[in-house]
Copies of this chain bind each other. A is one copy, B any other.
Amino acid sequence: MIHLNPVFIPGPTNIPESLRKAVDIPTMDHRSPGFADIIHPALDGVKKVLKTKAGEAFVFPATGTGGWETAITNTLSPGDKVLACRNGMFSHKWIDMCQRYGLVVEQVTVNWGEGIPVDRFAEILAADKGHEIKAVLATHNETATGVTSDVAGIRRAMDAAGHPALFFVDGVSSIGSMDFRMDDWGVDVAVTGSQKGFMLPPGLAITGFSQKALAAVQSAKLPRCFFDIRDMQAGYAANGFPYTPPVGLLNGLKASCDMLLGEGLENVFARHARIAEGVRRAVSAWGMELCAVSPDLYSNSVSAVRAPEGFDAGRIVAQALNTYGVAFGGGLGDVAGKVFRIGHLGLITDVMTLSGLATAEMAMADLGLPVELGSGVAAAQAHYRETAAPAQKAAA
């Protein structure tokens, strides 16, 4: 049976009706002038969402993984050293990609659930007097663990060490949902996808390059073609694309940026924080803990909830899906079976979120876990009431 239930995976998000309609358009000629009215506003919008004035945006028909590849292949050469922290499945995969491309990864490993250790990065950078490290990689929000790391802190560490490395940030599950400041934080390449904060179907790798990153392109020796931003630059300059562009998705991207910027990015972030806090209060009411080990790491786009020791968290996900038709995220990699994930990004409302929390409660109770029905819902309700729009107060 086909449900009308929302999804609670950490992306792709539930898609707003207006964005579905912006994507689903009849074929237009991408070599006609009409394409300029889509691609340029879309790129301008992306720059505003990334908070970059100095940088440039590049959008590929791909996914965030393609965005990672865009970042490294356009700026680095075989044998280059990069610094990265492995603290979840997505940082793990980006490191793996670097290695497959012949980069040398100085890898900092922490337990999954922890953030990037800024002090460790600071030490390593300070010790790298020869500036062998060509790029620092950071996963802003680890989707696998619901951990948000301190990107601004890493930049400060780099600056403190006077280190000239490029700074690449995976903002796949943060950009458009949480505070992200490409220029302020000195991010050289920012990477995201269409299916998270932009609330679109998957199919776009969205990147921002700083002028410093753009300068690195000329000397970068890693081979690339599909993801070569020089072709993309030339295409945009001619109001075009180096190959057939996904016009519908790009039109959706334009509409998504209009929607986010129309609401105001700070409002968007506050909305995500409010929804996320309700989820966290529910988790607390259940007597459970997040995978993220401390409150400063809590993600506003996804919460990874630890199942009781010895209990396979995947059963909760399966029960919710099979019995109630609701999709949550499972655990990945080091935390497979240990956590289940509640995605709460995009245009998800308090009301929708409560249905997800209620479902998690039913699924856990079905499986014999000691969760009181309605307890998490009540905790979240209390938070949502307190923080609801002003209309509420007037009504009371």
Residues of A within 8 A of B (CB): 1-7, 9, 11-18, 20-21, 23-33, 61-66, 69, 96-97, 100-102, 193, 195, 201-203, 222-228, 242-249, 263, 315, 318-319, 321-327, 329-330, 347-352, 354-356, 358-359, 361-362, 365-368, 372-375, 377-378, 381-382, 384-385, 388-389, 391-392, 395-396
Q: Are B69 and A226 in contact (CB under 8 A)?
A: yes
Cα distance A64–B241 in the bound complex, in angstroms: 13
Q: Are B327 and A5 in contact (CB under 8 A)?
A: no
Closest to A223 in B: B101
Q: Are A29 and B374 in contact (CB under 8 A)?
A: no
Contacting residues, chain B, for A349 (C-beta < 8 A): 3-5, 324-325
Q: Are B225 and A100 in contact (CB under 8 A)?
A: yes
**Contact of A327 with B7 at beta-carbon distance under 8 Å, contacts A202-B61, A354-B359 already known:** no
Contacting residues, chain B, for A13 (C-beta < 8 A): 27
**Selected contact of A330 from candidates B31, B195, B224, CB within 8 Å:** B31
Q: Are A352 and B4 in contact (CB under 8 A)?
A: yes
| Closest 6 A/B residue pairs (Cβ) | A374-B378, A29-B327, A374-B374, A355-B355, A354-B358, A65-B243
Q: Are A355 and B351 in contact (CB under 8 A)?
A: yes
Offer 26 A-B interface pairs, CB within 8 angstroms, sorted by A.
Answer: A2-B18, A7-B29, A12-B244, A13-B27, A21-B21, A31-B330, A61-B63, A63-B243, A64-B244, A66-B226, A96-B225, A201-B248, A202-B245, A203-B203, A322-B391, A323-B392, A325-B349, A351-B356, A354-B359, A358-B381, A362-B384, A365-B381, A366-B392, A373-B377, A373-B385, A375-B378
Closest to A245 in B: B202
Nearest CB on B from A110, distance (A): 24
Q: Are A100 and B315 in contact (CB under 8 A)?
A: no
Q: Are B61 and A203 in contact (CB under 8 A)?
A: yes
Cα distance A242–B63 in the bound complex, in angstroms: 11
Q: Are A246 and B203 in contact (CB under 8 A)?
A: yes
Cα distance A244–B195 in the bound complex, in angstroms: 9
Nearest CB on B from A204, distance (A): 9
Q: Are A31 and B9 in contact (CB under 8 A)?
A: yes
Which of A224, A352, A381, A395 has the most B CB atoms < 10 Å from its CB?
Answer: A395
Closest to A98 in B: B225
**Contact of A102 with B61 at beta-carbon distance under 8 Å, contacts A249-B203, A359-B351 already known:** no
13 other contacts beyond A61-B66, A361-B381, with CB at 8 A cut-off?
A1-B263, A14-B26, A23-B24, A32-B321, A62-B62, A65-B243, A101-B223, A193-B244, A201-B247, A202-B245, A223-B223, A324-B351, A355-B355
Contacting residues, chain B, for A377 (C-beta < 8 A): 354, 358, 373-374, 377-378
Cα distance A225–B64 in the bound complex, in angstroms: 12
Cα distance A24–B329 in the bound complex, in angstroms: 23
Q: Are A97 and B65 in contact (CB under 8 A)?
A: no
Q: Are A358 and B361 in contact (CB under 8 A)?
A: no
Cα distance A122–B208 in the bound complex, in angstroms: 47
Cα distance A248–B25 in the bound complex, in angstroms: 14
Closest to A23 in B: B24
Contacting residues, chain B, for A358 (C-beta < 8 A): 351, 354-355, 358, 377, 381
Nearest CB on B from A387, distance (A): 11
Cα distance A192–B89 in the bound complex, in angstroms: 32
Contacting residues, chain B, for A248 (C-beta < 8 A): 201
Cα distance A194–B19 in the bound complex, in angstroms: 21
**Contact of A381 with B374 at beta-carbon distance under 8 Å, contacts A4-B352, A193-B244, A352-B4 already known:** yes
**Selected contact of A323 from candidates B7, B23, B389, CB within 8 Å:** B389
**Contact of A396 with B373 at beta-carbon distance under 8 Å, contacts A193-B244, A243-B63, A362-B384 already known:** no
Q: Are A244 and B366 in contact (CB under 8 A)?
A: no
Cα distance A193–B108 in the bound complex, in angstroms: 40
